[in-house]
């Protein structure tokens, strides 16, 4: 898919997501180019939200540039809704996320939210997760140890060069991980000392995926 078509789909799905937003909400907001379209659409819609809880410094900057009030998660309690993109989604709304490196805060805000509406263009749809390299955030001193464990699992970790997360950590992009059992892999990675977060959303998939295509926006939910 060419970049103009993809951009048009991101804008289309961003507008569709506005239907889930109520004016009294404290809304969780993710990170990435699709979410940036959503923030622009929210600002342009004139819809007022009470505040947003942001998943990254980049998102916080964009929200503030639109005059949207940003609230710390610690002061917000449970959120009704979280809106974010993904790098892949499967038929069970399980995801790979973290291409932008914001996976840890994204997973925390997901967990703090009652409903996760994931917004994607059609290039993100897969039958089985794993073509997109799986991001794993590690504390710096554990980088090599974790990489060896990932190799022992049959995968090929690659350090994301010159990148530091908002939490001061590193990202290993993991190629060729067998993700036929994404829940099992997510649990296994969660248990590796030194791993902060992995980019699998399988234990807690998105409740709703909105996918834009040339035929319009399709909703996947239970
Ligand atoms: C950010 O860390 C990611 O989880 C993003 O949600 C994901 O990479 C999707 O980004 P795009 O909307 O830019 O494709």
Q: Which of 12, 62, 96, 97 to mutate to test ligand 1, by most ligand atoms within 8 A of the CB atom?
A: 97
88 labelled catalytic: no
Confidence band for 206, pLDDT divided at 50, 70 and 90: very high
- Look at residue 140 and tell me whether its pLDDT is greater than 90: yes
Catalytic residue among 72, 88, 106, 222: 106
- Nearest alpha carbon, ligand 1 atom 12: 34
Q: Is the CB of 137 under 6 A from ligand 1?
A: no
- Look at residue 24 and tell me whether its pLDDT is greater than 90: no
- Mean pLDDT of the residues in the chain: 97
Mean pLDDT calculated for residue range 174-181: 97
**Domains of the chain by range and CATH?**
3-126+203-221 (3.40.50.1360), 134-198 (3.30.70.260)
| Model pTM score | 0.96
Q: What is the pLDDT of residues 48-85, one digit of tens each?
A: 999 999 999 999 999 999 999 999 999 999 999 999 99
What is the whole-number distance in angstroms between the Cα of residue 41 and the centre of ligand 1?
17
Mean pLDDT calculated for residue range 146-170: 98
Q: Is the CB of 57 under 6 A from ligand 1?
A: no
pLDDT for 222 equals 87
Q: Is the CB of 83 under 6 A from ligand 1?
A: no
Q: What is the pLDDT of residues 164-175, one digit of tens each?
A: 999 999 999 999
What is the whole-number distance in angstroms between the Cα of residue 97 and the centre of ligand 1?
6
* DSSP annotation string for 44-80: HHT---SEEEESSHHHHHHHHHTT--B--GGGT-SEE
Q: What is the largest CA-CA distance in the chain?
A: 52
Mean pLDDT calculated for residue range 190-206: 98
Cβ contact 31:106 at 8 Å: yes
CA 161 to chain centre: 21
């Amino acid at each position: 898919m060419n970049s103009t078509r993809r951009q048009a789909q991101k804008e289309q799905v961003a507008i569709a997501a506005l239907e889930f937003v109520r004016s009294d909400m404290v809304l969780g907001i993710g990170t990435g180019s699709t979410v940036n379209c959503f923030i622009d659409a929210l600002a342009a819609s004139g819809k007022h939200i009470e505040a947003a809880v942001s998943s990254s410094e980049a998102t916080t900057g964009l929200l503030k540039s639109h005059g949207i009030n940003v609230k710390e998660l610690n002061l917000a309690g449970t959120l009704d809704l979280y809106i974010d993109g993904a790098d892949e989604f499967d038929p069970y709304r399980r995801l790979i996320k973290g291409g932008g490196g914001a996976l840890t805060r994204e997973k925390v805000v997901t967990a703090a939210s009652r409903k996760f509406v994931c917004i994607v263009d059609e290039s993100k749809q897969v039958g089985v997760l794993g073509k997109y390299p799986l991001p794993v955030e590690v504390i710096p001193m554990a980088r090599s140890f974790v990489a060896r464990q990932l190799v022992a699992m049959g995968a090929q970790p690659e350090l994301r060069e010159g990148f530091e997360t908002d939490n001061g950590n590193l990202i290993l992009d993991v190629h060729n991980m067998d993700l036929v059992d994404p829940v099992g892999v997510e649990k296994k990675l969660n248990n590796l000392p030194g791993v902060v977060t992995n980019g699998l959303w399988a234990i807690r998939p998105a409740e709703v995926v909105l996918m834009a295509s040339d035929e319009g926006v399709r909703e996947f939910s239970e």
